[in-house]
Structure 1
Amino acid sequence: MRRVESLDVLRGVAILGTFGTNVWIFSSPGGLAAVLGGGGVVESGLRALSNGKFLALLSILFGVGLAIQHSSALRRGARWPGWYLWRSALLLVEGVLHFVLVFEFDVLMFYAVVAVQCAFIVGRSTRVIRGWMIAAGVLHVAVVGLLTAALYGKDVVGDDAADTSRWLDQVAFRLDNALALRAEAVFVLPLGMVLFLAGARLLRAGALEQSVRGDAIRRRLMTWGLGVGVPLNALTAFAGTDWALVDRYLCAPLVAFGLLGAITTLVHRTAEGPLRRGITAVGRSALSCYIAQNVLASVLCYQWGLGVTGGPLWTVTCFLIVSALVTAGAWLWLRRFPRGPVETVWDVLYRAPQRISSRRTRCPQGRSA
């Protein structure tokens, strides 16, 4: 399959946008507890710009990548899911390391689990895929509704937070509270399945292509995602913490589809400039940039690093500094190398067992000759 022009841009926007959510956890003196505890109108508005939307967009793009990998395997006549499961295992290991060593709200483990689930569905008929999406979607909406009703009017913000004065204390905190910190990833598994499979279907339908059909699909995505999703998201974002689950896990994913349509349309209609080249570089080295931005924010904000925390102004400044460094670093790196540093290691680990398996297959033929 030929390279999808807009895909790298979408990935780059999703990676930087995801950091737009995480940066509030890094930069706030109270960490996650302070973020969940609410804030002023300006702060709530700034958080609402990124909360959940770009994480959902990244999930959709993982589904696009899954569909590309599946199509590639079919063209080669390879067994599916086959080596894709090894790719998911590597992502899981990377996620565990990232969770323990860098950031307690890692998403890579979640993506690895959902990828395995969807790998066994993506090759089925449209009817089967639609059935799985409907079932997972109904389950997700029901759980969000029940939890919202159960927690309505209650203070669920905890006081416990990781001690950031020593890096080893943070690591110990994550290990001691692993189940609680990973609860969100389990809770959103049905949503992940919906978004992954939706991404696969959108790719096959031509939503990312520059064509009449692609334009029509993107218009529908923007109508629902931006025309309907954004107003609903605005209502829930300022409705208080009682509606936080609805805001993040129902409204934000709807907006993500609108973002996919709008960004792809913009890519097709505008010429490439310096900003787009930088974002494309982030998208081409997405895994490296995702890890790098969390490491940089840790160094800037945690007490074992520079220890700079503060209000919304510092949060925005931190986002701009880290995003600029990551974007410039990705662009400079890719001028000399074909893929990001983590992606390079990944490629070696991913191909090594395949080469060993290939040699074992050829050796008996060589001896018999």
Structure 2
Amino acid sequence: MSSRIDMGARITALDVLRGVAILGTLGTNIWIFTDPAGPGGFLAGADDWGGALLRMLSNGKFLGLLSILFGIGLALQHRSAVKRGMKWPGWYLWRSALLLVEGALHYVLIFEFDVLMFYALVSVLVAFLVGRSDRVVRGWLVGALVVHLAFIALVTYAMHLGDGSLGGSLPVDMSSWFGQVRSRIEYVDVFRAEAVFVLPLSTVLFLAGARLLRAGALEDSERGLRVQRRLAGWGLGLGLPLNVVTTLAGGEWFAVDRYVCAPAVSFGLLGAITMLVHRMRSPEGFLRRGVTSVGRMALSCYIAQNLIASLLCYQWALNLNGRFAQFGVWYTVAAWVVVSALLVMGATWWMGRYSRGPVEAAWNWAYRAPQRRSVAA
């Protein structure tokens, strides 16, 4: 196997990883959409071990993977800017500003637990760090990790002293879309609390993603294979069993489960999926093509999955919750399958006709417009 980077395979692996992360993130969010108590009841947790283990399959892992991939994407943009002799971070900060605005609109209009806003904030810090020396990057990574683990320790201690819960259900108005928008604004401190809480963790994952790209984690090479095996071994071999233990240990361990064990598994998923992609004989299968298409228009699919799930589940739209919530986890799994199928089919159709997703196209226009005006001036 050549030690040279296979750029086509690397990019393809990145698209597949993004597609898996988007569909996996839906696997976490779908529990929120199908909860009869609405978005305010998501912290109640599963009532039995079976439900808890089913939630564990997606809880925090794919969001962690998405964060790592965001860091990889940021590092790729830095690498491209350096090769072209462009000032860094330069116009990248405009990208972060656009992402912040987009995330704010997504939060208010569609989904209480948007991740784009805090991705935008973290991307500004990491943009200034990604080109620094290994010593500086390693210092920030370790420092952010220490801060994060200290937060987790304090929260876990408080939960052991209390009732083992991070909170209760909020009286979110689910009768109308406008009512839900008002609730998001009214309870912004509660719904955005996790976004603030995970800022140090996101910094760790972004910086780790940038370092993994440099280490060859996405390469189809001997070096890349060694990194992928190491990630899969530690992340799945050690992180996954610990994740099962903390899931079944009770609500007191929720913070450790979601914010320590799950991100560890994310690294294992990165290694295992990348190895699988490089060893698949046919890149033209429907499933891989569909997941790749979702990854190529990840931003559009992230917003679309939350919009589709809202229209299917909530009282002010089709209200499937009112008809099928009594079926419990079976209804939740079925909802995930339906929304995922719509995303895969829609993304495959769209990418067969256009080079960018609809949100990506609009976003790219907004990003390029001030640059064109600057050049013209």
TM-score by length of 2: 0.94
SS of 1:5's equivalent in the other structure is: helix
Aligned match of 1:189 in 176, 199, 205? 199
On the 8 A contact 2:19/2:295 being kept in 1, the answer is yes
Partner of 2:129: 121
Partner of 1:175: 185
Distance 1:32 1:166, change over 3 A: closer
Residues in 1 aligned to 2:95 and 2:44: alpha-carbon distance in whole angstroms = 38
Offset, 1:34: 4.3
1:266 equivalent in alignment to 2:273? no
Aligned match of 1:144 in 135, 149, 152? 152
Partner of 2:81: 73
Distance 1:43 1:33, change over 3 A: farther
Bigger shift: residues 177-186 or 248-257: 177-186
Q: Can you list the C-alpha shifts for 1:135-172, whole angstroms capped at 9, x where unaligned?
A: 00011001100111012142443232312110000000
1:202 equivalent in alignment to 2:212? yes
Q: Can you list the C-alpha shifts for 1:303-351, whole angstroms capped at 9, x where unaligned?
A: 0011112111110000000000011001101111100000000110010
Residues in 2 aligned to 1:355 and 1:101: alpha-carbon distance in whole angstroms = 30
Partner of 2:30: 23
- Structure 1 gaps of 5+ residues are 361-369
On the 8 A contact 1:24/1:31 being kept in 2, the answer is no
Matches for 1:36-51 after TM superposition, within 5 Å: 36-38=43-45, 39-51=47-59
Equivalent pairs: percent with the same residue? Answer: 61
TM-score by length of 1: 0.96
Matches for 1:299-314 after TM superposition, within 5 Å: 299-309=311-321, 310=325, 311-314=328-331
Partner of 2:339: 322
Residues in 2 aligned to 1:151 and 1:43: alpha-carbon distance in whole angstroms = 21
Bigger shift: residues 314-323 or 178-187: 178-187
Residues in 2 aligned to 1:232 and 1:55: alpha-carbon distance in whole angstroms = 18
Aligned match of 2:294 in 278, 282, 289? 282
On the 8 A contact 1:33/1:157 being kept in 2, the answer is no
SS of 1:297's equivalent in the other structure is: helix
Q: Can you list the C-alpha shifts for 1:231-274, whole angstroms capped at 9, x where unaligned?
A: 00000111111100000000000000000000000000012211
On the 8 A contact 2:71/2:206 being kept in 1, the answer is yes
| Superposition CA RMSD, Å | 1.2
Moved over 6 A (4+): none
Aligned match of 2:370 in 348, 353, 360? 353
Residues in 1 aligned to 2:171 and 2:95: alpha-carbon distance in whole angstroms = 33
Bigger shift: residues 97-106 or 303-312: 303-312
Residues in 1 aligned to 2:369 and 2:41: alpha-carbon distance in whole angstroms = 45
Offset, 1:181: 1.2
1:10 equivalent in alignment to 2:17? yes
Residues in 2 aligned to 1:129 and 1:238: alpha-carbon distance in whole angstroms = 36
Residues in 2 aligned to 1:214 and 1:206: alpha-carbon distance in whole angstroms = 5
On the 8 A contact 1:222/1:262 being kept in 2, the answer is yes
Offset, 1:33: 5.1
Give the partner amino acid of 1:300.
Answer: L
Offset, 1:31: 2.7
Residues in 2 aligned to 1:352 and 1:157: alpha-carbon distance in whole angstroms = 44
SS of 1:105's equivalent in the other structure is: coil
Residues in 2 aligned to 1:321 and 1:161: alpha-carbon distance in whole angstroms = 28
1:331 equivalent in alignment to 2:331? no
On the 8 A contact 1:88/1:116 being kept in 2, the answer is yes
Q: Can you list the C-alpha shifts for 1:93-121, whole angstroms capped at 9, x where unaligned?
A: 11000000000100000100010010000
Partner of 1:255: 265
Aligned match of 2:249 in 234, 239, 244? 239
SS of 2:12's equivalent in the other structure is: coil
Partner of 2:170: 160
On the 8 A contact 1:36/1:241 being kept in 2, the answer is no
Give the partner amino acid of 2:31.
Answer: W
Q: Can you list the C-alpha shifts for 1:204-246, whole angstroms capped at 9, x where unaligned?
A: 1111000000000111101110000000000011111110000
Residues in 2 aligned to 1:359 and 1:79: alpha-carbon distance in whole angstroms = 19
SS of 2:320's equivalent in the other structure is: coil
